[in-house]
Amino acid sequence: MILIVECGATKSDWTLLDRGVVHKSFQTEGLNFSSGDEEFIARTLEYGVLTSRDAADSACLDAIYFYAAGLFPSDDPSSPYNILYGCLSRNFPDSKIYLENDLLAAARAVCGHDAGIACILGTGSNVSVYDGVTIVSRIPSGGFILGDEGSAGALGKRFIEDYIKGMVPECVALAFEEKYDLSYSTIVRNVYHGNSPAAYLGKFAPDILAFYDDNRYMSNLVDENFRRFIERCLLLAIHRSQGPLHLGVVGGFAYACRRIFDRLAGEYDLHVDKYLASPSEELIKFHQK
């Protein structure tokens, strides 16, 4: 039996495979080990571990494959990588533990064992070059403050930046104020002191997209967000790769916007071969093989 955990900023998918068959699957809240609140991560992780232990019963859990943003080997014992490894090894002392970045999960999901370029466009964003086995090159994301171009979080951030300065068209602002508490204090509290600031900003994306076809300001906001990702991230990855490669995009936000993203990618002579709302299903197939 093996445990596969795929963590995004919004949700985390936990799947137990027994001889290639799904034994149990469940979801927890999203985890980002590079920027999330430590207590929140600890509580969420504890629930996932205990639920997995209960579901596995007395069966031997041979291996754990844990994919998440912010997981990088480090000599610092207080690093997220080492803290997570310690937690899993204490609870599953006889299991092999593999801690991998979410980029490898995306690459395995959209490329399988073929070389390609894998993009993440969900609450956050990322892009990497994959040789069919491992990530050989990546463009640093920078997170929701320094990067995450093209993501739902970045789109929400650009919108809120304009909103607090009174630059959003009145009809749009009123529509959002009817649905959300957009007081300045609420925005600041959620962005600077919330459990998941990127997820908070990303939650505005669906409502922004609802205005895409009818409001020029909103359509320009969305298009510019994706162009920043293409120009500042995707084209850099393509430049570092050798020869034409399979191009896949993972993320619920990209999947919802695939018509828009396809049109904008075409302006740069790019073609996306595969969109996945979530990597989990294809990632499970990868491990089943």
| Residue 130 φ/ψ, nearest 5 degrees | -120, 135
Task: Summarize pLDDT for 93-115 with one digit per residue, the tens.
Answer: 888 999 988 889 899 999 888 88
| Strands in 140-256 per DSSP E | 246-250
- Under 8 Å CB-to-CB from 12, ≥6 apart: which residues? 5, 6, 27, 28, 29, 30, 31, 44, 48, 68
Domains and CATH numbers, the chain: 2-105+282-288 (3.30.420.40)
pLDDT of residue 34: 66
Over residues 192-205, the pLDDT tens digits come to: 888 778 888 999 99
Q: What is the dihedral of CA 172, 267, 147, 131, to 10 degrees?
A: 140
Comparing 178-182, 217-221, 236-240, the range with the smallest average pLDDT is: 236-240
Average pLDDT rounded to a whole number, residues 233-249 = 82
Q: Which residue has the higher pLDDT, 35 or 83?
A: 83
- Choice among 51-60, 61-70, 140-149, 216-225 with the minimum mean pLDDT: 51-60
Pairing of strands 96-101, 63-68: parallel
Rg (CA), the chain: 19
Supply the pTM of this predicted model: 0.77
Burial pattern 168-206, b for ≥16 Cβ within 10 A else e, equals beeebeebbeeeeebeeeebeebbeebbbbbbbbbbbbe
Give yes or no for residue 35 having a pLDDT over 70: no
